[in-house]
Amino acid sequence: MKLGRTSQAAGPGSTVAMKRWGYIALHAAVAAAFFFLLQRYALSASLESSLLWAVTFGGCAAGLAYMQSNRAP
């Protein structure tokens, strides 16, 4: 199987790298928003606790998205 241009490693400043970081940021933001709303309204937690869990799970989601974007096809 011949590899195309999209399967090559993204160099600095490439659009593939920018799409990857955008995907990571979106993944983190959606996870953080979901956990904030879950904690704050569904579980009636305090604002501080909700923000702490949102930041924690947002960071975990960013790490997971980063690992998934770096794996070989």
* DSSP string of the chain, one letter each residue: ----GGGSPPPTT-HHHHHHHHHHHHHHHHHHHHHHHIIIIIS---HHHHHHHHHHHHHHHHHHHHHHHHS--
In this prediction, residue 14 carries a pLDDT of 62
Ordered by start, the domain boundaries in the chain are 16-70
For residue range 2-60, list pLDDT tens digits in order: 555 555 555 555 666 678 899 999 999 999 999 999 999 999 999 999 999 999 999 99
What sign does the CA torsion over 55, 60, 64, 69 have? positive
Q: Which residue has the higher pLDDT, 71 or 43?
A: 43
